[in-house]
Amino acid sequence: MSPLVAHDGRESADAPQLAKRILLGEPLTTQQVDDQLLPKRMALPIFASDALSSVAYGPQEMLMIMLIGGTALLTLSPWVAAAVVVLLIVVVLSYRQIIRAYPSGGGDFEVAQRNLGEVPSVIVAAALLVDYILTVSVSIASGVDNIISAVPQLAGVRVELAVGFVALIVIVNLRGVREASAVFAIPTYVFIGSVVVMIGTALVRMLLGDAPVAASAAYTVHAESLGQAAVVLLILRAFSSGCSALTGVEAVSNGVPAFRTPKIRNAKTTLTLMGSIAAVLFAGLTAVALVSGVHYAENPCDLVGFDCTSPQPSLMAQVAAATFGAGSIPFFLIQAATACVLLLAANTAFNGFPLLGSVLAREGYAPKALNTRGDRLVFSNGMLVLGLAAAVVLVVFQANLTSLIQLYIIGVFVSFSLGQIGMVRHWRRILRGGAGVAPQDADGGRRSARIGLAVNSAGAVMTVAVLLIVTVTKFAHGAWMVFFAIPVLALLMLGVKRYYRDVEQEIALDDTTHFGSTGDVAIVLVSRLQKPVIKALDYAIAARHEKTIAVHIALTPEDGEELQRQWRQHGIPVPLVIVDSPYRTFARPVEQFILRYRERHGPSVVTVYLPQYIVGHWWEKLLHNRRARRIAAQLMLVHGVTITLVPWLLDSSELIYGRRSRPLPGQQRAGRPVADEGRSGDRR
């Protein structure tokens, strides 16, 4: 017996099961869910890694776009950066309201559902799902970028690296939230710390008149002179790219249930903390990058003086090199921390996506399978779906950050906007009816509701505005794919919902449901007279059906006669009927036999006994033709027929399942088992 079968209350283990255990650890009981709750110090890294890590590419992509307008335009960058930071603050404040109003973890989806109705909520869900996938792709692409910036030799295996990391993160996450957080806490803190130190050092050096100078500061770019409109558009595009730093802010609001009590307070604090850190890092990095004169080009070959055959180092890498010197220990430390936190950012999605997926499944918008917790209490299926989707995206886009960024944050801002609009409605309703406000603190409630209304109104206006800007500036650059994907997904969800509802109605008890089927005949399908068939006959007899008939489908008359002979010879206590099958089919003749039987004996419930082989190794399946399976599938379509599968465990199954149908020599009554004769026969 494999050792794992011993564990109480688990699926009896087979080989894959065993592998699963080793990768994922021991299963947990439902009660243990509570012990999995997160303290703030753990929740921050888990839910914040996305928002924080995005500063690793946010400033880079922003300045990159500005550079298209030439070095002159870079001077406007601080204003763009400021706009992003302001937006960040507003969004954070708005989400504090959402956490307060809807702490169940539904986030924007729940808000939209409660306040805007089904369709908007499904759109929000679709948008979020798309964006979770892109979060994984973008974060990993950027992480690989930073690894390559430190170790250029790896430039050749960019995509392989990216996909490999996806796989790694999936596995780590399948082990469950708790361990995940533990693994992820350290690097996030290291990242925050080291980047803050870097920014500090750089600014101090600047004040001391020894400002760091980036390697790319020397490179010039030949910028085509742009008209007013073009410049404005470029600035807006830069802003949109910068906004990628806002992604992940919603993560906390979706994760409230995972917090330790007081959940709401803890979640809000974590969110504020995260927002402030993100703002500081974003502003700081942009500043240092501008000071040290980093020139990061969309197409490295536009950089006059740069050998564009080698990979272009990321902004983070250039700043680090400028501040601490390329190849210095702190340089590598920063690159490592950045890469880690980016890869871990992908992890945020692996908390959010399956959670949202399960919510959708529970509401009937997604396949039920997304709501079944795995052994480790995580929604395994959701994680696998996300991992697969992200891997595909990475391969399709060859893990190219700049082209992925084009699709990114549209989803986020779709859900931002709808979420905020929903909140505005929410507060309005409360102020109107006071619904959901306990009388005693009605005043406090009304005051805070007014605040909420103000905050979320501001949030709604800004996010909608940004959504428009992002759409206009990115649509042609690939964002159209997202605008295609979101409605398709939304429609699918609505379809699934409708399907489940129809099935529910189909199988719901009603006045047409009734007991009282009569007639009880068992049919044992017999191919050749062997142990599995005898076992089936034995069980059929044991079940004492009103009538038990053995049926043999004869492809040629000879088959039938031969079996008849053996049947008599062994004196089997069940009548044998031979049915000819000129077309070499099996199910159909049985069906006709059943119909003829019913004509004679009236309506009756028919139980068809089918011996079924259980094999040990996957390859054995190739050697047994699936006849039993096919027959069962066909007969299940016949009214009033049930299929009884009588398993026969071949000896090989003992290796895997620790069980077999054939008694071991010891357990046998008289005589040596035939098999041994056979084996000794071989030696001859």
* 569 makes contact with its own copies (CB under 8 A): no
* 516 makes contact with its own copies (CB under 8 A): yes
Residue number with CB closer to its own copies (445 or 519): 519
548 DSSP β-pair partners = 522
Q: How many CB atoms within 10 Å of residue 226?
A: 15
Q: Which of 179, 302, 562, 620 binds its own copies (CB under 8 A)?
A: 620
Q: Which two tokens stand for residue 154?
A: 């790896």
CB 543 within 8 Å of CB 609: no
Residue 548: in which H helix or E strand, if any?
Answer: strand 547-554
Residue number with CB closer to its own copies (70 or 519): 519
* Selected range binding its own copies among 7-15, 58-66, 250-258, 382-390, rule: CB under 8 A: 7-15
The whole-angstrom separation of Cα 19 and Cα 482 is: 37
* Selected range binding its own copies among 124-132, 178-186, 473-481, 672-680, rule: CB under 8 A: 672-680
Phi, psi of 123 (to 5 degrees): -60, -45
* Selected range binding its own copies among 125-133, 187-195, 415-423, 622-630, rule: CB under 8 A: 622-630
Residue number with CB closer to its own copies (131 or 375): 375
Per-position DSSP letters for 206-268, written without gaps between them: HHTT-----GGGG-EE-PPP--HHHHHHHHHHHHHHHGGGGTTHHHHHHHGGGBPSSHHHHHH
| 3-state class (DSSP) for residue 673 | coil
User: Distances in Å between the alpha carbon of 554 and those of 524, 537, 590?
Assistant: 14, 19, 11
* 584 makes contact with its own copies (CB under 8 A): yes
- Closest distance of CB 487 from its own copies, Å: 19
Residue 642: in which H helix or E strand, if any?
Answer: strand 641-649
Q: Which of 1, 3, 11, 468 binds its own copies (CB under 8 A)?
A: 11
* Selected range binding its own copies among 164-172, 178-186, 236-244, 587-595, rule: CB under 8 A: 587-595
- Closest distance of CB 17 from its own copies, Å: 11
* 119 makes contact with its own copies (CB under 8 A): no
Phi, psi of 118 (to 5 degrees): -65, -55
* 684 makes contact with its own copies (CB under 8 A): no
CB 550 within 8 Å of CB 566: no
Q: Which of 75, 276, 310, 556 binds its own copies (CB under 8 A)?
A: 556
CB 423 within 8 Å of CB 101: yes
Looking only at residues 12 through 51 of this chain, which bind its own copies when binding is defined by CB under 8 A? 12, 27, 29-31
Looking only at residues 322 through 381 of this chain, which bind its own copies when binding is defined by CB under 8 A? 367-369, 372-373, 375
* 662 makes contact with its own copies (CB under 8 A): yes
Q: Which of 229, 542, 558, 683 binds its own copies (CB under 8 A)?
A: 542
Q: Quick one: which of 293, 216, 210, 250 has its CA closest to 95?
A: 250
Looking only at residues 195 through 254 of this chain, which bind its own copies when binding is defined by CB under 8 A? none
CB 82 within 8 Å of CB 240: no
Question: Residue by residue, what is the 3-state secondary structure of 320-335?
Answer: HHHHHCCCCHHHHHHH
* 10 makes contact with its own copies (CB under 8 A): yes
Question: Which residue, chain included where needed, has tokens 């050792």?
Answer: 3
User: Distances in Å between the alpha carbon of 269 and those of 166, 256, 460, 536?
Assistant: 30, 11, 22, 65
* Selected range binding its own copies among 119-127, 149-157, 297-305, 510-518, rule: CB under 8 A: 510-518
* 505 makes contact with its own copies (CB under 8 A): yes
Q: Which of 227, 433, 439, 671 binds its own copies (CB under 8 A)?
A: 671
Q: Which of 300, 434, 478, 589 binds its own copies (CB under 8 A)?
A: 589
Computed on alpha carbons and rounded to an integer, the radius of gyration of the chain in Å comes to: 33
Residue number with CB closer to its own copies (145 or 591): 591
Q: Which two tokens stand for residue 663?
A: 């008694």
Q: Omega before 103 cis (within 30°)?
A: no
* Selected range binding its own copies among 251-259, 348-356, 465-473, 603-611, rule: CB under 8 A: 603-611
* 160 makes contact with its own copies (CB under 8 A): no
CB 201 within 8 Å of CB 324: yes
Q: Which of 210, 506, 558, 599 binds its own copies (CB under 8 A)?
A: 506
The whole-angstrom separation of Cα 584 and Cα 586 is: 7
* 674 makes contact with its own copies (CB under 8 A): yes
Residue number with CB closer to its own copies (429 or 547): 547
DSSP strand pairing (641-649 vs 605-614)? parallel
Residue number with CB closer to its own copies (294 or 576): 576
Residue number with CB closer to its own copies (36 or 201): 36
- Closest distance of CB 19 from its own copies, Å: 17
* 643 makes contact with its own copies (CB under 8 A): yes
- Closest distance of CB 531 from its own copies, Å: 4
- Closest distance of CB 670 from its own copies, Å: 6
* Selected range binding its own copies among 88-96, 246-254, 383-391, 653-661, rule: CB under 8 A: 653-661
* 673 makes contact with its own copies (CB under 8 A): yes
Looking only at residues 468 through 497 of this chain, which bind its own copies when binding is defined by CB under 8 A? 496
Residues 6+ away with beta carbon under 8 Å from 661: 531, 532, 535, 647, 648, 649, 650
CB 649 within 8 Å of CB 661: yes
Q: Which two tokens stand for residue 402?
A: 């700049």
Q: Which of 538, 577, 595, 618 binds its own copies (CB under 8 A)?
A: 538
Residue type, 651: D
Q: Which of 565, 570, 601, 629 binds its own copies (CB under 8 A)?
A: 570
Residue number with CB closer to its own copies (30 or 440): 30
The whole-angstrom separation of Cα 594 and Cα 643 is: 13
Q: How many residues line the site for its own copies (CB under 8 A)? A: 105
